[in-house]
Amino acid sequence: MSNRSVVHASFTITRVYDAPPARVFKVFSNEEAKRKWFAGPPGWTLLKREFDFREGGREHLAGRHGAGTVSVFDCFYQDIVPDERIIYSYVMHLDGRKISVSQAAIELKPEGKKTKMTLTEYGDYLDGYDDAASREHGTNFLMDALGKSLAD
């Protein structure tokens, strides 16, 4: 029998993107636009992707890292207000082992011709997988990639 545990952590990331809220919302809500920035780190190979962006919809992303580890992101969209807010929950697996359950809120606010994006995430890291700092680092990497995709 393995030891069961839960470690709780949260973080907030803020960015100001040089694009209006509708454009920033689109890179979350449009599958083609999201493919440009939402993927694994360098060396990661896509295995499966499903995308159903709507309240009650699901997103699924699975891939293999260079060392062979398979990661799976399973997302459920809880609340969507176009151009303003996205709230979703998701479960992460590594090699079939559930490592975390999280909820995230993305808020988009106009700042002149730009958008202030605030992402707040609450995570429960399971059964010895206590790597909240890595999750925050990875999310920062993705938000930087999102910003670069807006310049395309």
Compute φ and ψ for 56, nearest 5 degrees: 90, -5
Compute φ and ψ for 149, nearest 5 degrees: -70, -25
In this prediction, residue 3 carries a pLDDT of 83
Three-state DSSP class for 141? helix
In this prediction, residue 85 carries a pLDDT of 98
In this prediction, residue 2 carries a pLDDT of 67
Identify each DSSP E strand in the chain by its residue range: 6-17, 45-51, 58-64, 70-81, 85-94, 97-111, 114-126
Q: 57-68 burial, b if ≥16 CB within 10 A, otherwise e?
A: eebebbbbeeee
pLDDT digits (tens, 9 = 90+) for 73-98: 999 999 999 999 999 999 999 999 99
In this prediction, residue 1 carries a pLDDT of 42
- Domains parsed from the chain with CATH numbers: 6-150 (3.30.530.20)
Query: What gap in Å lies between CA 41 and CA 141, rounded to an integer?
Result: 9
Spans in the chain with pLDDT lower than 50: 1
Query: What gap in Å lies between CA 114 and CA 21, rounded to an integer?
Result: 7
